[in-house]
Amino acid sequence: MADVGRRAALGAAVVALGATAALADQPDALRGGVANGKVDMPKLHDPRTEVEGPLPNADPITRKLGVAVVGLGHLSLDQILPGTLTSNHVRVTALVSGDKAKARVVASQYGVPEAGLYDYTDFDRIKDNQAVDFVYIVLPNNMHAEFTLRAAAAGKHVLCEKPMANSVAEAEQMVAACKQADRLLMIAYRMQYDPYHRAIIKMVRDREYGAVRAISAVNGQNDAANGQWRQVLKQAGGGSLPDVGIYCLSAARYITGEEPVEITAQLTQPKDDPRFREIEDLCAFTLRFPSGVLAQCMSGYSHHESRHLRVMTTDAYIEMDPAFSYQGLAMHIGRKAGPAYATEMRKFAEKNQFGREMDHFAECIRANRQPHTPGEEGLQDQRLIAAIYDAARSGNAVRLPEIAGLDTTRGPPPADAA
């Protein structure tokens, strides 16, 4: 009570400061306002020299599409759920987990109602949940097909983590099922929505630094020896190749826009290392593209994190290091600058990659438009993964029919990612 009295006295005293009046003097134009339902503000900095991004103008919460996140492992907890908070068009409205206690804690953190909680057996009830527009499948790889089919059957659009499945047959079944159910299917190739990778694609297609000649890519990490599902062949469908090597494979494909015609490969499976009882450690594969580009790619599960990409063009090299991480990506362009060599590092603003990716899917759902990375994109990787394993196991080059055209497995590109 004494406090309240003292505070009231303060309130009276402060009127003399009169700062509020000063604010009123400021011209309206500089204070910004609302246009088309969005906030609009003048730039603070000289646009000729300073980078200033757009205002983060999300949709009103009540207009956002609802996503059901299926699986509450590390990727969901560390990246995807936080990513929904950065999204312009998506909010999480349901969670699917085999652990109800965990689901309830997460629900309390993200404001998901009890009615939005499902387990793997009662998941199909989600067809009745009007707050769910699409599901995001973040399960062990061998469950992707099942839950894609169940989600499509429940009338939900499907965003599915990579690798799409554990076999070409499963992948084909997923594409067919979503088609039959008239639901969109997108594979969560986050790099294809990232501004760095989009910038590389644009540089290459515009021949800003001439023609691509070769690509080198490495994506590996040192996994814990804890029997996690990635080390169980039945669940993971393979070792480092489908999990992290797929980033190298995918990058070689979306950068060139082409599909490989010849593959050589080698694997390792170290004895006496409990992580590799069932799966490969390293997978080194080389792709030949119709234009003559060679891409050397390597993945691994037993070395320090290394995520590196270098695209060699006639006039430059374009490097990403790290190339495939969730954050902190950096581009380096090496080229001649007069009498010197220049290496130019470019940095875009950090933004959660999963937020970008989900926003693309939301825009596709709203427009009923094919996603940039539909099921067909994942299916092609699935075919190539099978070919890489064939090449590695046989020791012989695997030759594939030439596919004419560019980006034949992709939908329209995302809106400008910057």
**What residues between 8 and 37 interact with a second copy by CB under 8 A?**
8-11, 13-14, 17-20, 22-24, 26-27, 30-34, 37
Residue 132, amino acid? V
CB of 188 to a second copy, least distance (A): 18
By the rule CB under 8 A, 367 interacts with a second copy: no
Q: What's the maximum distance between 2 C-alpha atoms anywhere in the chain?
A: 87
Binding test (CB under 8 A) with a second copy, winner from 274, 339, 401, 405: 339
42 or 405, CB closer to a second copy?
42
Smallest separation (angstroms) from a second copy to the CB of 372: 19
Does 334 sit near a second copy (CB under 8 A)? yes
Q: Stretches 44-52, 250-258, 357-365, 379-387: which one binds a second copy (CB under 8 A)?
A: 44-52
Single-letter code of the amino acid located at 285:
F
Closest approach of a second copy to the CB of residue 183, in Å: 8
Which residues, 130 to 169, sit near a second copy by CB under 8 A? 139-140, 142-147, 149-150, 152-155
Q: Is the peptide bond before 163 cis (omega within 30 degrees of 0)?
A: yes
Which CB, 58 or 159, lies closer to a second copy?
58
- DSSP one-letter string for 135-202: EEE-S-GGGHHHHHHHHHHTT-EEEEPSS--SSHHHHHHHHHHHHHTT--EEE--GGGGSHHHHHHHH
Q: Which stretch binds a second copy (CB under 8 A): 310-318, 357-365, 375-383, 400-408?
A: 310-318
Name which of 289, 287, 311, 341 is nearest 209 in CA terms.
Answer: 311
| 3-class DSSP assignment, residue 311 | strand
Kind plus residue range of the DSSP H or E element containing 75: helix 74-75
Q: Are 328 and 322 in contact (CB under 8 A)?
A: yes
Q: Which long-range contacts (CB under 8 A, 24 or more apart) does 75-78 make?
A: 75/138, 75/161, 76/138, 77/106, 78/326
Residues forming the active site: 162, 247
Q: Which DSSP string do the residues of 231-273 spell out, in sequence order?
A: G-HHHHSSSHIIIIIHHHHHHHHHHH----SEEEEEE---TT-
- Is there binding between residue 114 and a second copy (CB under 8 A)? no
Looking at 329-337, 361-369, 371-379, 407-415, which segment touches a second copy (CB under 8 A)?
A: 329-337
Q: How many residues bind a second copy (CB under 8 A)?
A: 163
- Per-residue interface string for the shown chain with a second copy, residues 203-242, x marking contact by CB under 8 A: ------xx--xx-x-x-xxxxxxxxxx--x-xx-------
For residue 210, the number of C-alpha atoms closer than 13 Å in the C-beta half-sphere is 14
Q: State the pairing for strand pair 262-267/283-288.
A: antiparallel
312 sits near a second copy (criterion: CB under 8 A) = yes
> What is the strand order of the sheet 185-187 is part of?
117-118, 90-96, 65-70, 134-137, 157-160, 185-187
Residue in 116, 245, 300, 375 binding a second copy, rule: CB under 8 A: 300
State how far the Cα of 213 lies from the Cα of 203, in Å rounded to an integer: 14
Which residues ranging from 47 to 106 are in contact with a second copy (CB under 8 A)? 47-51, 53, 55-62, 72-74, 77-78, 81-82, 85-86, 98-99, 101-102, 105-106
Closest distance of CB 202 from a second copy, Å: 10
Segment near a second copy (CB under 8 A); pick from 251-259, 307-315, 364-372, 400-408: 307-315
Q: Which two tokens stand for residue 380?
A: 């092609």
401 near a second copy (CB under 8 A): no
Closest contact distance (angstroms) between CB of 209 and a second copy is 7
> Binding to a second copy (CB under 8 A): which residues in 240-279?
262, 264-266, 268, 270
